[in-house]
Amino acid sequence: MQREVLVVGYDGAVLTDIAGPVDVFDGAGKVCGGYRVRLAAVGGGFAVSGGLRMEAEDLRDVAAGVDTVLVAGGTAFEAAAADPELRRHLRRVADGARRVGSVCTGAFVLAGAGLLDGARVTTHWAFCDRLAAENPSVEVVPDAIHVRDGRVVTSAGVTAGIDLALALVEQDHGARLARLVARWMVVFLQRPGGQSQFSVRSRVPPVRERGLRDLLDAIADDPAASWTVEGMARRAAMSPRHFARVFPRRVGVPPARYVEQVRVEAAAGVLESGDEGLDVVARRCGFGSAETMRRAFQRVLGVTPGGYRHRFRTTGAA
């Protein structure tokens, strides 16, 4: 079955927000024939970042029935979010779609159209606080590369749209195809560190048990929660004894080690993108103290948190 992916732009949209997901779906479609990608905007063609002009369908003429709707971010997201015609036709097309999502500040456009109410979402790190303040009914996850909440899918800034699109390809056709597309594009299937809380999760082999899969997703979503063995067993709908046997066989490491790895990657993302003190980062990511976090970093990454921040805050190109 061929799924139609509609990417929605507007004057001032960021080219990478459009081109990244388009290339992912197009690449996957060339292998499995599973996607048809379309580009639309109110009025048809529009100007993107850099002054380039994009040809596009008129969103007003797009019939309902597309599978996935993705709205690009851009410097003019405020005007786009306030455009009544864009909001009206976006709602119309989105109503019948299986998935509705955004890249970067495209989340503001979805919110303006009333498509994010009650959802967990993310956006570019620089706009997370604003998105939360302007939309009290929306739960913003500030340190995620992408978030999927039911049919709503959102990503962090710019190149994170590629991560999101790869995740959707994996959801539709499996990790093997997503991995092939990622290799062809020379990108990570799940980038290490950064804002991502999902990279440890992505390395876990396929898990049969639904309860265990849900638990792994929950740990990735909230690494700072109190993850005791008893609590994890309950979340996985298993007895503690059965859970203690099954978890290492399915995941490859004991439960406590897995939680530690997820917390280290969450902390690594915070260290890369912010200037908070190590004590603050440790508490935020579930370690309790900077010393506990330091020992975990040494075990998992072979480097101290301070050393990690020094190495990965910059490419060193200067």
**Which residues are the active-site residues?**
104
> Pick from 271, 132, 145, 140: which is nearest to 196 by CA?
145
d(CA 284, CA 140): 15
Residues 120-151 as b/e (b if ≥16 CB within 10 A, e otherwise) read bbbbbbebbeebbeebeebebbbbbbbbbbee
Evaluate whether 220 touches 197 at the Cβ level (below 8 Å). yes
d(CA 275, CA 278): 9
Q: How many CA atoms lie less than 13 Å away from 207 in the CB half-sphere?
A: 21
> Pick from 190, 124, 111: which is nearest to 152 by CA?
111
